[in-house]
Amino acid sequence: MSLINGLPAHVLLVHFVVVLIPLTALALVICAVRPTAAQRLGVVLPLLALVTLALVPLTTNAGEWLERHVDSDALVRRHAELGDGLLPWAGGLFVLAAVVWWTARRAAASGSGTPGSARGSGTAVRVAAAVLSVLVAGGAVVDVYRIGDSGAKAAWHDAFSTSSSGGGDGDEG
């Protein structure tokens, strides 16, 4: 995928990733910490994470196409390098979303879905999933921020002026 309505696909697809990674991360953490939320959300959590995961390589591939069609500079190369690192984070979100969904489903099926009633290995899995979810969600969101910041710098450096080109003093509304 290279162009959508005449625009580079990366420029459009990146908006989905920038919204879905933090949304998936937030939903994952909430569901990992509150099993009742995971039971309510159900299969939506892993499906959201799967869509997010699928969009990352599509966006990256579209970005690689765009990289070949713009002037190469250090900022573009840095953005591309950072972008290549998002897939493992998105994969981690998906795996953990599936684990959280599965454990919530299992707890509901066994009748231990009420808070405080899970025991033994189920509690250990839930605690481990919650801790890992917070770590992976945080890492994914920070990585998206870093990638987006580098992309904005690559796209906008030398593309604007700090003074108004309209001849005004810049204070006009």
Per residue in 143-170, pLDDT (tens digit) is: 999 999 999 999 888 766 677 766 555 5
pLDDT of 125 above 90: no
Per residue in 25-39, pLDDT (tens digit) is: 999 999 999 989 999
Rounded to whole angstroms, how far apart are CA atoms 60 and 66?
10
Closest CA to 100 of 119, 124, 125: 125
Rounded to whole angstroms, how far apart are CA atoms 107 and 47?
20
What is the chain's Cα-based Rg?
A: 21
Per residue in 57-84, pLDDT (tens digit) is: 999 999 999 999 988 899 999 999 999 9
